[in-house]
Amino acid sequence: MLSLDDLTYSYSQSHESPIIQGLSMNVHAGEFISIIGVSGSGKSTLFKLIAGLLEPNCCEIHIHGEKCTTNRLGEVAYMPQKDLLLPWRTVLDNCLLPWEFNRKPSRGHKKEVIANIQRMLERFGLGKYEHCYPNELSGGMRQRVAFLRTLITGQDLLLLDEPFGALDAMTKKEMHRWLLELWDDLFKTVLFITHDLEEAILLSDRIYLLPSEPDQGVQEMHVNLPRPRHYVMNYDPHFIQLRQDLEQRLYEKTFI
C-alpha cells in the first residue's frame, strides 16, 4: 500500500540536521497504524511528505506499489492538525469540498453526496449543525467536521493528524466505538498521529515510535490484540500490559 525507504527530509539546505533521517516504513492495505513521537519530531512533516505537499530530499515513496516521484497530490486523504474549515462555508459546504475537486467520473451526483454527508453528520452528532458556519461550533465539533470531510474524499489511505486530539473524553470514546464498529467495512488504510497511548493501542495494528533525535531510528510495536475490538477493552490485562510496554519504551528514552 505505502512504503517508504530511507526517507530523509530537512526544511532548508542550510539546516544543520534533517527533521527526518533514514526513515523506512511499510504499510499494508487495510492496516491501521499509529505514529507516536514527541512534539517536533516531524510527524506532521512526515504526513506532508506522504501527501505530496513536500518533496523528500532523497528516498522513494511507493503508494499502491507504484513509485510516486512527481505528483502524489490527490492520492491520499489528509487531515491536518488544525481543523481548517473554510469560515465562509457552512458545515455541509465544507464537507462538499473534496467532491468539488474530484474530477473522476466516479465522484457521483451532488445530491447523493449531500445525502451521504447528511447521514454521516447525523452519526457524528452534528445533524442539527448542517447549515451552521464553523464559527458557530465548539472546538470539538469543528474537529469532527474536519474528520468527516477527510472521510468524504473517498481515498483508501487516510493520513489523520491528531483527529481526536481536541475531542472530549466522551465524544472520543464514542468516536472510537464508532470507528471500531465501522472499521471492518471501511477497507481503509490509516496512518494516525496521536498523543493518546490508549487510543493508539485500541485502534492500531502497529505503532511506530518516532525518535526525538532524527538519527536514532524508529521503533515499531505490534499490537496483537484480536479484531474486532471493543471500545471498553482498555481494562483487559493484555491491553494494560501493552500499554505499560509502550510507556516504558517511550519514557526510558526521555527520562533516563
Ligand X SMILES: Nc1ncnc2c1ncn2[C@@H]1O[C@H](COP(=O)(O)OP(=O)(O)OP(=O)(O)O)[C@@H](O)[C@H]1O
57 with 8: CB under 8 angstroms?
yes
Considering the complex, state which of residue 156 and residue 161 has its C-beta at the smaller distance from ligand X. 161
The residues of the shown chain that bind Mg ion, judged by CB under 5 A, are 44, 81
Greatest C-alpha distance within the chain:
58
148 with 92: CB under 8 angstroms?
no
Q: Which whole-number Å values give the CA distances from 161 to 47, 72, 175, 191, 195, in the listed order?
A: 8, 18, 15, 8, 10
Strand partners, 33: 191, 206
* 61, 66, 70, 75: CA torsion to nearest 10: -90
Q: Is 133 in the site for another protein (CB under 8 A)?
A: yes
Q: Is 163 in the site for another protein (CB under 8 A)?
A: no
Coil, strand or helix: which one is 25? strand
If binding means CB under 8 A, how many residues of this protein chain bind another protein? 28
Cβ at position 3, least distance to a second copy in Å: 25
| Residues 34, 36: Cα–Cα separation, whole Å | 6
From the list 56-64, 91-99, 163-171, 184-192, the region that binds a second copy by CB under 8 A is 163-171
Cβ at position 123, least distance to a second copy in Å: 14
Q: Using alpha carbons only, give the angle 75, 77, 81 rounded to the nearest 5 degrees.
A: 135
Instruction: Using alpha carbons, select from 150, 170, 254 the residue that is nearest to residue 212.
Output: 254
Residues 25-54 binding another protein (CB under 8 A) are 48, 51-53
Considering the complex, state which of residue 114 and residue 132 has its C-beta at the smaller distance from Mg ion. 132
If binding means CB under 8 A, how many residues of this protein chain bind a second copy? 36
From the list 93-101, 104-112, 161-169, 183-191, the region that binds a second copy by CB under 8 A is 161-169
Considering the complex, state which of residue 161 and residue 180 has its C-beta at the smaller distance from Mg ion. 161
From the list 46-54, 63-71, 111-119, 166-174, the region that binds a second copy by CB under 8 A is 166-174
Contacting residue, 5, 130, 196, 205, with a second copy by CB under 8 A: 196
From the list 71-79, 115-123, 221-229, 247-255, the region that binds a second copy by CB under 8 A is 247-255
Neighbours of 197 (CB within 10 A): 17
Q: How far is CA 166 from the centre of its chain?
A: 14
Q: Is 136 in the site for a second copy (CB under 8 A)?
A: no
Q: Is 236 in the site for another protein (CB under 8 A)?
A: no
Q: Which whole-number Å values give the CA distances from 206 to 5, 75, 103, 200, 203, in the listed order?
A: 18, 23, 34, 9, 9
Partner whose footprint covers residue 181, from Mg ion, ligand X, another protein, none (CB < 5 to 8 Å by kind): none
Q: Is 40 in the site for a second copy (CB under 8 A)?
A: yes
The residues binding another protein (CB under 8 A) are 14, 48, 51-53, 73-74, 76-78, 80, 82, 84, 86-89, 97-98, 100-103, 133-136, 153
